[in-house]
Chains A and B, each alone.
Chain A
Amino acid sequence: MRGRVLVAKPGLDGHDRGAKVVAYALRDAGFEVIYTGIRQRTADIVTVAVQEDVDVIGLSVLSGAHVELTEDIRRRLAAVDAEEIPIVVGGAIPRGDRERLLQVGAAAVFPTGSAVDDVVGTVGELCAQRMASR
């Protein structure tokens, strides 16, 4: 097992094609994947992440609210002393927002058009770091 990953869809957008493709690719690559389903409240995503003791949280956002949602999850993780869980964000993300996302605490950003192999590679590195530091 290469790590436990929570694939989560915060906000109201229901487009889960990307989230599921990434989830399938991670599972194929030997990760344990927990999928939240769509339209999850940020508070619930954080609760699941902590309860399931995941190594990485993957967020998929296509509505444009990626910065606000990432910031919110980051804040909620900090509030329960779980800010060490890295967040990877994918979706319809303008280039200019990449830096913003990294600033508000994303560990990596994968805009539409990213290769799935790159996502798997990055998640693998983040999981390895997390497991080594435990």
Chain B
Amino acid sequence: MTEGPQSGEELVPWLRQTNAGIPVDPSMAWSGDSGGDARGRRDRSEPGEFPFTRGNSPAGYRDKLWTFRQYSGFGSAEESNARYKYLLSEGATGLSVAFDLPTQCGFDSDSEEAAFEVGRVGVAIDSVRDMARLFDGIDLSRTSVSFTINGTAAIILAYFIAAAEDSGVRREKLRGTIQNDILKEYASRGTWIWPATPSLRLIADTIEFCASEVPRFNAVSVAGAHFRDAGATAVQEMAFTLQDGLTYCDEVVGRGRLTIDEFAPQVSFFFYTHGDFFEEVAKYRAGRRRWATLVKERYGARTDRAAMFRMGCVCGGASLYAPQPENNIVRVAYEALASVLGGVQSMFTAAWDEPFALPSEETTTLALRTQQILAYETGVARVPDPLGGSYYVERLTDETEERIQAVMEELERQGGMVKAIETGVVQRMIAKEAFALQKDVESGARPVVGVNVCRSDGDPPDVETYKMSAEARAAQVARVQEVRRARDQARAREALRSLRDAARDDGGNLMPILVECAHADVTVGEITKELKDVWGEFRQPVDI
């Protein structure tokens, strides 16, 4: 085993600043130099009080624990359904669906584009029939379901509503979230389909539709997590996400049909918690304060509910490493603690084998247990914002918020988020950080246990990729072809025709038509193509 750095001297560059580059004053002296009171605090709000720095509710987790929600899905609807039932039986309190790439990019399982990818990184959903099988035997009036779906989010929402209604659950009862955040897809995650203008329109359609028809469902989960995993710092992650959130709210407010108070309570957020403990706590506190302030200042929100920043998080991702993989159990546990001290509403803890495999039942259960131990044994849930008032945390919260604001101002100077993404500005900011981190890890400037310090001999565990068996893939292909063959063709044709007409005309809401497409057994690929014919496709900037 190689030893890690022993003296402070060896760690100096890393001690002087947080991972996002926020300078750290080691004196920890109480002072008013950040413009605050004698303890350096500018913000004296209590938990549950605007701007919600200390959390959305006066009682914190005593009101409601965070939701334990493990991201999962692979292969066919039946295989994923079995995993969901297993997770629920083990005490998961919500579900989180992972889709395969063809479903996310709008291709049916029998298309050329899907050839190598059906069921690989998530479940294959081609039609409402697959959606019904995905939740077979799960009571959708009682289980909240989160869908990591973006390009095809409106279609998946329509399938979910249609499948639920077919099983006797009315849409008003449905709880959960569709991610439905296209901007970060353009910039970092990649499952975009149409250009920004019609995509924003479709997102606004889903927000309006949920506000009136599916009131307990989050119509959008503005996600910073994917910026982060692509390389963004904690500050950039929060800044990009808030700017995306403003872009969606601008779109809906600009239509003039809903006020911010009517739809903002159905807008939620989603982040990665990585390893720099206090930086993460400060990020969440600063994000809550900045969002509440923006919603009030920019849109004149009158209710607290509209200004509240509700978020889920994921622990793991790029902060995990393959060498000495069991170390990831410890990393995820610290990240989960930071998330709870930061006040998240739901959490996904990654399994320790995430860097090299789809998690097994054992590893995913251990990840769930990590949250359960935190919730039930450690006592951290007893009081809201237990770190509030700490010199370091308050100071870091202020510094983080200032830096978030500075990045957001830069994005405004670039012409707003859509422009900054279409020109590749955001992508370059992220890639620059990813490259810098890679160099720091390789040079040892950023210590990572088991990777560049405290290494041991031996190879890291091998990467395992999941592949649907040829038979299972053939079955999925056969199923979608059977759905297309057996349906009422006139009804399907009529649904697609209405969709095309509505897509051409900016006035109406596409959601009711998509629900009709779902009932008419129209497939993800057919709907996507119909809309591509009208709207075209996003053109990614390739200038790096």
Residues of A within 8 A of B (CB): 11-17, 20-21, 23-25, 33, 35-39, 63-65, 68-69, 92-96, 111-113, 115-117
Q: Is B28's beta carbon under 8 Å from chain A?
A: no
Q: Is the CB of A24 within 8 A of B542?
A: no
When distances are taken between beta carbons in the complex, the residues of chain A under 8 Å from B189 are: 14-15
When distances are taken between beta carbons in the complex, the residues of chain A under 8 Å from B318 are: 17
Q: Is the CB of A38 within 8 A of B465?
A: no
As a 0/1 sequence over residues 181 to 218 of chain B, the CB contacts with chain A under 8 angstroms (1 = contact) are: 00001001111000000000000000000000000000
When distances are taken between beta carbons in the complex, the residues of chain A under 8 Å from B322 are: 112-113
Q: Is the CB of B460 within 8 A of A21?
A: no
Within 8 A of A (CB), among B88-131: 101-102, 104-105, 107, 113-117, 120-121
Nearest CB on B from A118, distance (A) = 10
CA distance A54 to B541 in the complex (A): 20
Q: Is the CB of B463 within 8 A of A112?
A: yes
Q: Is B483's beta carbon under 8 Å from chain A?
A: no
Q: Is the CB of B323 within 8 A of A113?
A: yes
Secondary structure of the B side of the interface? loop
Other-chain residue from A13, A17, A94 in contact with B434 (beta carbon distance below 8 A): A17
Nearest CB on B from A104, distance (A) = 14
Q: Is the CB of A21 within 8 A of B435?
A: yes
Q: Is the CB of A16 within 8 A of B230?
A: yes
Nearest CB on A from B79, distance (A) = 16
Q: Is the CB of A12 within 8 A of B463?
A: no
Q: Is the CB of B120 within 8 A of A95?
A: no
When distances are taken between beta carbons in the complex, the residues of chain A under 8 Å from B464 are: 94
For B442, give the chain A residue with the smallest CB separation.
A115
Q: Is the CB of A20 within 8 A of B323?
A: no
CA distance A24 to B459 in the complex (A): 27
Other-chain residue from A12, A20, A23 in contact with B101 (beta carbon distance below 8 A): A12
Other-chain residue from A38, A63, A117 in contact with B117 (beta carbon distance below 8 A): A63
For B541, give the chain A residue with the smallest CB separation.
A37
Q: Is the CB of B431 within 8 A of A20?
A: yes
Q: Is the CB of A65 within 8 A of B116?
A: yes
Can you list 19 A-B contacts with CB-CB less than 8 angstroms, sorted by A residue number? A17-B229, A17-B434, A21-B434, A21-B438, A24-B431, A33-B544, A37-B540, A37-B542, A38-B190, A38-B540, A39-B105, A39-B190, A64-B467, A68-B116, A95-B462, A111-B463, A112-B322, A112-B356, A112-B463
Q: Is B466's beta carbon under 8 Å from chain A?
A: yes
Q: Is the CB of B190 within 8 A of A94?
A: no
Q: Is B40's beta carbon under 8 Å from chain A?
A: no
CA distance A48 to B116 in the complex (A): 22
Report which residue of A24, A25, A115, A116 has the largest number of chain B beta carbons within 10 angstroms of its beta carbon: A24
State whether A11 and B117 are in contact (beta carbons under 8 Å apart), knowing that A20-B434, A21-B431, A64-B466 are contacts in the complex: yes
Q: What is the total number of residues of chain B having a CB less than 8 Å from a CB of chain A? A: 45
Q: Which 10 A-B pairs have the closest CB atoms?
A: A14-B190, A64-B465, A65-B116, A12-B101, A20-B431, A37-B542, A24-B435, A94-B463, A37-B540, A68-B116
State whether A15 and B190 are in contact (beta carbons under 8 Å apart), knowing that A25-B435, A64-B466, A113-B460 are contacts in the complex: yes
Nearest CB on A from B149, distance (A) = 13
Q: Is the CB of B460 within 8 A of A64?
A: no
Q: Is B231's beta carbon under 8 Å from chain A?
A: yes
Q: Is the CB of B542 within 8 A of A36?
A: yes
Q: Is the CB of A14 within 8 A of B465?
A: no
Q: Is the CB of B442 within 8 A of A65?
A: no
Other-chain residue from A13, A23, A36, A112 in contact with B190 (beta carbon distance below 8 A): A13
Nearest CB on B from A21, distance (A) = 5
Within 8 A of A (CB), among B449-470: 459-460, 462-467
Within 8 A of A (CB), among B297-349: 318, 321-323
Report which residue of B115, B321, B466 has the largest number of chain A beta carbons within 10 angstroms of its beta carbon: B115
When distances are taken between beta carbons in the complex, the residues of chain B under 8 Å from A68 are: 115-116
Q: Is B355's beta carbon under 8 Å from chain A?
A: yes
When distances are taken between beta carbons in the complex, the residues of chain B under 8 Å from A116 are: 438-439, 442
When distances are taken between beta carbons in the complex, the residues of chain B under 8 Å from A112 are: 322, 355-356, 463
Other-chain residue from B101, B231, B355, B540 in contact with A17 (beta carbon distance below 8 A): B231
Other-chain residue from B121, B231, B435 in contact with A63 (beta carbon distance below 8 A): B121
Nearest CB on B from A33, distance (A) = 8
Other-chain residue from A23, A93, A94, A95 in contact with B544 (beta carbon distance below 8 A): A23
When distances are taken between beta carbons in the complex, the residues of chain A under 8 Å from B439 are: 116
Q: Is the CB of B465 within 8 A of A92?
A: yes
State whether A95 and B463 are in contact (beta carbons under 8 Å apart), knowing that A11-B117, A20-B431, A24-B431 are contacts in the complex: yes
Other-chain residue from B117, B321, B463 in contact with A93 (beta carbon distance below 8 A): B463
As a 0/1 sequence over residues 423 to 447 of chain B, the CB contacts with chain A under 8 angstroms (1 = contact) are: 0000000011011001100100000
For A13, give the chain B residue with the smallest CB separation.
B101
Known: A20-B431, A21-B231. 11 other contacts (CB 8 A): A11-B101, A11-B116, A12-B101, A12-B107, A13-B121, A14-B185, A16-B190, A17-B231, A17-B431, A17-B434, A94-B462
Q: Is the CB of B434 within 8 A of A65?
A: no
When distances are taken between beta carbons in the complex, the residues of chain A under 8 Å from B355 are: 112
CA distance A99 to B542 in the complex (A): 32
Nearest CB on B from A41, distance (A) = 8
CA distance A108 to B322 in the complex (A): 21
CA distance A96 to B356 in the complex (A): 13
When distances are taken between beta carbons in the complex, the residues of chain A under 8 Å from B544 are: 20, 23-24, 33, 35
Q: Is the CB of B101 within 8 A of A63?
A: yes
When distances are taken between beta carbons in the complex, the residues of chain A under 8 Å from B117 are: 11-13, 63, 65
Nearest CB on A from B14, distance (A) = 20
